[in-house]
A = this chain, B = another copy of it.
Amino acid sequence: MRGRTSNGGRRAADTAPLELGPLNELVGFHVHLVDVRLYQIFYERLAGRALTPGVFSTLLAIRENPGVRHGALADALMIQRPNMTTLINRLQRDGYVSRRPSADDKRWVVLFLTSKGERAVAQTLAAMAANDRAITSELSSAERRTLLALLRKLAQGLRAPLMVKKGRGRRPATLA
């Protein structure tokens, strides 16, 4: 991160951490803090690499699911379909991905990695995994596993339209 001061952007007057009050109890607040910081770290440390986190995730998901449909991929990665189209356009232009209409249903577009795409994923995988270990290096192995499990469970629960338990059955949550 260019433009930072020599002590990493922390200034003397910052030593006393801010009181966050009720923000401390919000999962969403901390998820956002971490997500923003992880992107900063990625660009501080892995800048210059061809594969950004979004591109890498997309390529890896195609590798794990050859012939995956466009829309299914978008849903799995929580990317809107129009934005997935833009991303795949670029990846196809750059030779990482091939797309073709499905024989089963001509509306479908199915996706595959090219050999260049396979190579790029294989080359980047170790660096991505190492970076993920580095960013969680303040956690113990057990803590990291627990965090991962809880995030997976949370993400899974968030895929469906948001509901909350109340009385019998399930209905949309109210807020206030």
List residues of chain A with CB under 8 Å of any chain B CB: 8-11, 13-14, 17-38, 40-42, 44-46, 53, 57, 60-61, 63-65, 68-69, 71-73, 75-79, 108, 125-139, 143-144, 146-148, 150-165, 173-176
What residue in chain B is nearest A132 (Cβ atoms)?
Answer: B26
State in angstroms the CA–CA spacing of A79 and B32 once bound together. 11
Q: Select which of B41, B64, B151, B156 is within 8 A of A162 by beta carbon.
A: B41
Instruction: List, in ascending order, chain B residues with CB within 8 A of A8's CB.
Output: 160-161
A148 CB contacts on chain B under 8 angstroms? 25, 27, 30
Instruction: List 9 A-B pairs, minimum CB-CB distance, nearest first.
Output: A138-B157, A30-B151, A21-B64, A35-B35, A18-B76, A8-B161, A134-B173, A147-B150, A37-B158
